[in-house]
Amino acid sequence: MKEIILCKYGEIVLKGLNRGTFESELMKNVRRRLKPLGNFSLKSAQSTLYVEPLDDEIDMDEVFDRLKKVYGITKLSRAVGVEKNVKSIFGAAYERFGDILKVSKSFKVAAKRSDKSFYLTSPELAAQIGGMILEKLPHLKVDLFEPDVTIVCEIRAEGAYIHDIAEDGAGGIPVGTSGQGLLLLSGGIDSPVAGCMLAKRGVIISAIHFEAPPYTSERALMKVEKLAAKMSEYCGRISFYTVPFTRIQEEIKNNCPEEYFTLIMRRLMMEIAQRVAEKNGIEALITGESLGQVASQTMAAMVTTDAVCRMPVFRPCIGLDKREIIDISYKLGTYEISIEPYEDCCTVFTPRHPKTKPVLSDVEKAQAMYDFEPLIAEAVENTRVKNIKSY
Ligand code: ATP
Ligand code: MG
């Protein structure tokens, strides 16, 4: 019995003239994600993508799991293929739905016939299969409007397909349809969530991480790479930039007033990130900040960091509670990695009394006590890049 997977598009359907671009990005993403698993035929018809394995030994559970992580797909169902005769179709339908029908009150059979040469019309096929089910399970009622169980039978050129119950996909729009963003990725819970939220809206994600060895360890960096690899199950391949940040942090500590340490550090991170972005044709920055979560994430603090930014800064977690962010990270599978212990450069020189209502001119004055420009240029120059993907 051959199995195929049907993927329903979500918002792509609303895209009018741009629809072609959205569909072809989605196809490209699906093809890339499934390539390591074997050969497939992909066909698009009626807002549905049909994924059909061409090799015998393909692990369809793995295919289904991967497709559930592709943005742009709202619903997925598996369908088994059988021979095009009523006996086989009933057999497959009963095998798949028998257990649930036994504990249900009503059902309907929905038949679709794209192969018009089949010897029954769709209503005839539905009636016959429905009749055979009622014979086996006479407690059931047929309800065409609000059935407990719907069994979909589809007659196509190459065979008949019985559809499984549809599951939720990742939703959103395909990665590659909304430009490129550079995610400031720490080892925490919030930033991976922020990156995936924008990938869900079609943004190609690159990541930049600031390390401060020997204050931060090699293990901490490996943890962040592991997070990026997990994210790539959703975002696709990620260009991962690592910035050596130790000198800058030491000079902040040696030259600037303590209460401004974090704010100056964040302004320098933004400056370096946007230079790396500009060099690589990336159009926006993304952070995992959430309003009021810590001293550096008050509105006044963000005003002082945004003051150095020449490109849009997206903060998709801004209005989410920690609990809500955790729920998303749990679903993405990043949570388990994020809670592993690690040191972040942010916490290396944390001020005892950070300013929560900083005034921009005061921060600028504090930062001007040292000429950071040569160190910024050096950090950008020494930034390393590697590709990260999980498949
Ligand atoms: P997260 O859980 O994402 O670490 P957080 O609540 O710990 O967030 P902060 O440590 O204040 O918040 O950092 C705020 C944001 O700054 C992070 O979401 C991330 O986008 C960025 N950031 C923090 N540290 C780093 C780092 N070492 N490298 C890159 N970006 C960082
Ligand atoms: Mg953090």
pLDDT tens string 227-286:
999 999 999 999 999 999 999 999 999 999 999 999 999 999 999 999 999 999 999 999
Q: Compute the C-alpha angle 110/114/116, nearest 5°.
A: 110
Which of 168, 189, 215 terminates a domain? The answer is 168
Dist CA 13 CA 15 (whole Å): 6
Domain total for the chain? 2
Q: Compute the C-alpha angle 334/335/338, nearest 5°.
A: 85
Query: Given the structure tokens 């929560």, which residue do they identify?
Result: 356
Quick one: which atom of ligand 1 is closest to the CA of 243?
Answer: 28
Low-confidence residues of the chain: pLDDT under 70? 1, 13-15, 17
Pair 161, 202 in one domain? no
Q: Calculate how far, in angstroms, residue 69's C-alpha sits from the geometric centre of ligand 1.
A: 24
Ligand in closest contact with the CA of 207: 1
Q: What is the CATH number of the domain that holds 29?
A: 3.30.2130.30
What is the distance in angstroms between the CA of the first residue and the CA of the last residue of the chain? 27
User: Is 338 within 8 Å of 329 (Cβ atoms)?
Assistant: yes
246 lines ligand 1 (CB under 6 A): no
Pair 301, 215 in one domain? yes
pLDDT of 1 reads 59
Is 173 among the domain residues? no
Q: Could you give the C-alpha distances from 175 to 58, 97, 183, 200, 348, in angstroms and in order?
A: 25, 35, 15, 7, 35
- Please tell me whether the overall predicted TM-score, pTM, comes out greater than 0.85 for this model: yes
pLDDT of 118 reads 94
Which of 114, 144, 168 terminates a domain? The answer is 168
Pair 159, 34 in one domain? yes
Dist CA 96 CA 89 (whole Å): 11
Q: Which domain holds residue 116?
A: 3-168
pLDDT of 17 reads 67
Is 174 among the domain residues? no
pLDDT of 344 reads 80
Select from 185, 191, 242, 350 the residue to mutate for testing ligand 1; criterion: most ligand atoms less than 8 Å from CB: 191
pLDDT of 13 reads 64
Pair 371, 347 in one domain? yes
Pair 315, 371 in one domain? yes
189 lines ligand 1 (CB under 6 A): yes
Q: Calculate how far, in angstroms, residue 186's C-alpha sits from the geometric centre of ligand 2.
A: 5
188 lines ligand 1 (CB under 6 A): yes
Which of 168, 198, 226 terminates a domain? The answer is 168
Select from 184, 230, 271, 285 the residue to mutate for testing ligand 1; criterion: most ligand atoms less than 8 Å from CB: 184
